[in-house]
Amino acid sequence: MEQHNKIYQQAFYYDIALSRDVGPEVDFFLEAYRYYTGLELKSALEIACGPGYHSRTLAQRGIQTVGVDLRPEMITFAQQQPGGKADNLSWVVGDMRQFQLEQPVDMAVCMFDGFDPLLTNDDVIRHFHAVADNLNPQGLYLVQYTHPRYCSLQDYGSFHYEGERDNIKVIIHWAINNPVFDCITATAEVETKMYVCNKGQEFTTVYKATERLFSPQEFPLLAQLSNRLRVIGWHGDFDLRQPFDNSAASQYMLCLLQKI
C-alpha cells in the first residue's frame, strides 16, 4: 500500500489538481443513512481521506467526524486546511486494513477509488473487519468506485485532472503506460505523471503503483467471507433515485454495506 501513496506525499500539489466541492456527495451520505436506517447521521469516518474534503465538510454539517489516511503528509495538510481543526473533527494516520478509533461511528465512507490499494482478498477481508470493528450496530459503509465502463480488465482507461491556484498549475495524468490487468489477480502496474508549473518553474514526476480492479460481484462475496458486513444497496451516482446500471446517468459504482 505504501507505493500506491507516493504521489500523495506532494499533498499541496495534489490538492490543486483534485480540490472540488463535495457538498452534494455529503448530502448523499446524510440522505442514504436516513433512507437505509431511518435515523439521522451523527458520526462518520472517511477512509483514505487524503486532504479531507469529505471529513471537513461533514464536520461543518455538525457531524462528529474522523479522517484516516496512510500518509502523514496528507493528514498534516488536511489539518491545515479551513475547518481542519474543528472541535468535532479528528485525524488518524493509519492503515485501512488495521485501525482503531476511540469511538465507533454511524457511517464510514471510502471515496474516489480509495479502495483499490487493497490488492488481495485477504487485504479486503481484513479491511472489512477493521471497518466493522469501528461501526456502531447496523452502521453503514459506502464505497465509491469507478464505473466499469471507464475501467475494465480489457481497458484501464486514462484519467486527467488539473487545477491552478496562486499562479501554480498542476496537471495529473493517471495511467500513462497503458496498464494491463493480470487476468487472475486483477492487478496492474500503473504509472502516473504529475506536471507542476510553480510560478514559472516547471517539473514533472512519474510515480509507479500497483492497483487492483474490483468487479461489482466481488463486494458481496468478500463481505460474505468477512462475516461482518453485507451489501444492502447500489447506486450509480450521488442520488438515491439513480440505480447502478449502464445508463449514461450512472457515473459511478456506489456500494452500500451494513454491519451485521
With respect to CATH, is domain 3-149+213-259 assigned 3.40.50.150? yes
What does DSSP say about strands 135-146 and 105-110: parallel, antiparallel, or unpaired? parallel
Strand, coil or helix: 51: coil
Residue 8 pLDDT level (bands cut at 50, 70, 90): low
In the chain, which segments carry CATH 3.30.160.370? Answer: 159-211
Q: Would you state the pLDDT for residue 9?
A: 63
Q: Output the nine-digit C-alpha cell for 151.
A: 475501467
In the chain, which segments carry CATH 3.40.50.150? Answer: 3-149+213-259
Q: Would you state the pLDDT for residue 98?
A: 98
Q: What confidence tens digit (pLDDT) does each residue in 152-210 have?
A: 999 999 999 999 999 999 999 999 999 999 999 999 999 999 999 999 999 999 999 99
Q: What confidence tens digit (pLDDT) does each residue in 10-44 have?
A: 899 999 999 999 999 999 999 999 999 999 999 99
Q: Which residue has the cell 449514461?
A: 248
Given a cut of 90, is residue 115 above it in pLDDT?
A: yes
In 3D space, the residue among 141, 155, 147 whose CA is nearest the CA of residue 110 turns out to be 141
State the pTM of this model. Answer: 0.95
Q: Would you state the pLDDT for residue 4?
A: 46
Which CATH number is 159-211 given? 3.30.160.370
CB atoms closer than 10 angstroms to residue 101: 18
CB atoms closer than 10 angstroms to residue 246: 9
Residue 82's region, left for phi above 0, alpha for psi from -120 to 50, else beta, is beta
Given a cut of 60, is residue 6 above it in pLDDT?
A: no
